[in-house]
Amino acid sequence: MKFPFLKAKKQYTLILDLGTEAIKALIVEKGNNVILGSSKNYLTSDLLEFKTLKKSILRAGTAAQDKAKVAPTIVTLGLPADILKTRVSFSSYRRKFPKTTINLQEEKDICQKAIERSRREICQSISEKSGILPDDIQFVDFKILEIKIDGYQTSRLNGFSGRNLEFRILTVFLPKHIEKYGNCGFEFLSKNIQDLGWKTIQIAYPLQNLIKNNKESKALYLDVGGTLTQFVIIENGNAKKIEEFAIGGENFSQIIAETLGVSLSRARILKHKYTKKLVSEPTRNKIKEILAPCVNNWFETLKSKLAAENSLIPENILLFGGGSILPDVAEILEEGDWNNIHFSGPIKIEYVSSKYIDLGPSADSVSPQFIPSLLLCKTEFLDFTEFNKNIF
């Protein structure tokens, strides 16, 4: 027998979004993602002292709790994009007997081989670029986004025949020893957060939710973070490319600080006032002049990354992340010289909202800097104890 007057007790989640520049914290009601409290705490450069990071996490989380006036039952932790990385790779497989029908066992064997090939290619690429050895890379998730049999897209292999198989694979990984957090591993980081009094820790990756809940058939998503910009190219409703480069909002603040001879915190305040048009016209012109070389460098770096695609880029450019708030970013995307970058139509620039991603009722009322945190609310959680032993 059900008693309608007995309501289920509400549960609340603390979102801890560890960025490259700041820690953002949100308290949301579980199930509907309504934001009840939020806070932001800038990180110092002294993160090699793990105690500093721990204090910053505690300050951000406690401030959000105080505003929400509720106690969370679950903590969802998001790691910064320079630690927890994702890549989309392509793998192919040629069957010896194309006329035979693929059964479940062959499907599993082929997919495992495709994923293993993707893992090896990523290990080689990371090792060449950063010097990290393959044994020092921890893979935490593999997802097959797309399957094609002899050029035709399908949702599965079982029950079909064919020779040439193609796979689009999403891979999530991180270093086993996180240098910026004092060379600790994920388990150590998780334990220390639990020691702060938050017992249930879930690790999530926001771009998984972006891909899963994206409503656009084609788009270029730009997450301009603190010291990193990530971009996701969506093609036919799925991720075609995910990459990042090391320029973001912190770089914009840094050039203001260095040019004017002020502290970084003071430069952030000036940048915020400039963004909100709260400074005089002469001051605004001066800050715009100071920012120009850094914004141009950001734009040129983005173009060089997109040029490597050697294909049409989606015309819908969707911005989010704290660094995207700077008006110069949208301005240079709209008015800049794209040279040999070709788009599938006239460029259209907008900020991410519920129109493009299913993020719940708070998506259209928060600053773009909190969109990555909202993405953590609905994403699938990553299993750091064993990586994809069971593909199906």
User: What's the pLDDT tens digit per position in 187-214?
Assistant: 677 777 777 777 767 777 778 778 888 8
In this structure, the answer to whether residues 228 and 318 fall within a common structural domain is: yes
Write out pLDDT tens, residues 308-358: 888 899 999 999 999 999 999 999 999 999 988 999 999 999 999 888 887
pLDDT value of residue 8:
62
Q: Which of 2-6, 230-234, 357-361 has the highest mean pLDDT?
A: 230-234
Write out the residue range of the structural domain in which residue 137 sits: 85-177
Do the beta carbons of residue 197 and residue 137 sit within 8 Å? no
Residue 2 domain flag? no
Whether residue 90 has pLDDT greater than 60: yes
Q: What is the mean pLDDT of the chain?
A: 86
Percent of the chain residues topping a pLDDT of 90: 48
Pick the residue with more confidence: 97 or 138?
A: 97
In this structure, the answer to whether residues 278 and 317 fall within a common structural domain is: yes
How many domains would you assign to the chain? 3
Residue 144 domain flag? yes
Whether residue 111 has pLDDT greater than 70: yes
In this structure, the answer to whether residues 153 and 289 fall within a common structural domain is: no
Confidence of residue 180 (pLDDT cuts 50, 70, 90): low
pLDDT value of residue 392:
32
Q: What is the DSSP string of 127-188?
A: HHHH---GGGEEEEEEEEEEEEETTEEES-STT---SEEEEEEEEEEEESSBGGGTSB-HHH
Write out pLDDT tens, residues 118-160: 999 989 888 888 788 888 888 888 889 999 999 999 999 999 9
CA distance 144 to 357: 21
Residue 3 domain flag? no
pTM for the whole thing?
Answer: 0.87
Question: CA 289 → CA 229, 231, 261, 333, distances in Å?
Answer: 22, 26, 15, 17
Pick the residue with more confidence: 49 or 121?
A: 121
DSSP assigned state of 344: S
